[in-house]
Amino acid sequence: MRKKIVAANWKMNMTQAEAARFIESMLLDLGEITDVEVVIVPPFTAIAKVMEALGRAQNIKVGAQNMYWEKNGPFTGEISGPLLRDLFVHYVVLGHSERRILFGETDEIVNRKVRAAHEATLRPIVCIGETLEQRDMGNVEKILAIQMRGSLAGLNAKELQETVIAYEPVWAIGTGRNATPDQAQEAHAFVRHILGEMADDATAERVRIQYGGSVKPENARELMSQPDIDGALVGGASLDPRSFVQIVKAARER
């Protein structure tokens, strides 16, 4: 049985004070939650504050939104895996479509980062997903297979199991237009099939695949009740603690 994982991708939002207020409010509801894995992914500048606000609530994990593949050195402006581990970060989101589209990240770059994350004992959340044009052309499976095989190249079965995949159709991100539960389930089942080809069926069964793209309290339950949808990567609706808490609670209801 895969434990559901719901992550709050705050993107380039949240001052330290806002982050602390969010965590305080969230802990009133989720302070004891253990049946769903909850991950907060703040901007780098708020990570330490979020850790401090979480205090002893070790059931809630913290992630970063990006990292560089080198461990240290003359790479002005970059952050490495070991530097994130130094802050007790557990997860790192890699290959988000905003990074692919706005910052030119290719599958090869994402793959270098994914391998460096495992080396640093960080768990990557690797984002994949097609554009609307690619969907309209009937190329969803082709694109997902290329992104999977490229971004996850060279990982062994154990590393694959410790990787979270986030299926995020680009046309659903920040648009208010989510994939239907059927569309998402179909893509997730295909992603799991590719994982089976890359490793073996037992490994594929253990990997958690999150859905992302306009997840909100109103659609979260139906999406996450699909057999291959193991949680959500939430952008806009994760900036408000009440809506994020509702989405986490929706992951509990089976």
CA–CA distance, 39 with 23 (Å, rounded to integer) = 11
Active site annotation includes 90: no
Residue of 84, 144, 233, 248 interacting with ligand PGA (CB under 6 A): 233
Number of Cβ within 10 Å of residue 115's Cβ equals 17
Catalytic residue among 96, 118, 159, 188: 96
What's the Cα-to-Cα distance from 102 to each of 75, 95, 147, rounded to whole Å? 20, 11, 17
Residue of 81, 95, 235, 241 interacting with ligand PGA (CB under 6 A): 235
Residue of 67, 173, 194, 229 interacting with ligand PGA (CB under 6 A): 173
Query: Which region, judged by CB under 6 A, interacts with ligand PGA, from 83-91, 147-155, 168-176, 179-187?
Result: 168-176
Torsion angle of the four alpha carbons 128, 223, 183, 142, in this order, in degrees rounded to the nearest 10 = 20
Name the residue among 3, 142, 133, 148 with its Cα closest to residue 61.
3
Considering beta carbons, is residue 53 or 237 the nearer one to ligand PGA?
237
Name the residue among 242, 253, 254 with its Cα closest to residue 30.
242
Considering beta carbons, is residue 128 or 199 the nearer one to ligand PGA?
128
Q: What angle do CA 158, 159, 160 make, to 5 degrees?
A: 90
174 binds ligand PGA (CB under 6 A): yes
Considering beta carbons, is residue 27 or 173 the nearer one to ligand PGA?
173
Catalytic residue among 98, 105, 168, 188: 168
195 binds ligand PGA (CB under 6 A): no
Binding residues with ligand PGA: total (CB under 6 A): 13
Considering beta carbons, is residue 49 or 96 the nearer one to ligand PGA?
96
| Structure tokens given for 145 | 């297979």
Provide the angle, in degrees to the nearest 10, between the axes of the packed helices 217-224 and 181-198: 50
Do the strands 5-9 and 91-94 form a parallel or antiparallel pair, or are they unpaired?
Answer: unpaired
Footprint (CB under 6 A) of ligand PGA, residues 49-78:
none
Footprint (CB under 6 A) of ligand PGA, residues 202-221:
212-215
Active site annotation includes 168: yes
State the nearest-atom distance from the C-beta of 63 to ligand PGA, in Å.
Answer: 12
140 binds ligand PGA (CB under 6 A): no
Instruction: Please answer whether residues 248 and 6 qualify as being in contact, where contact means their C-beta atoms are separated by less than 8 angstroms.
Output: yes
Which residues are the active-site residues?
A: 96, 168
Q: Which residues bind ligand PGA (CB under 6 A)?
A: 9, 168, 173-174, 212-215, 233-237
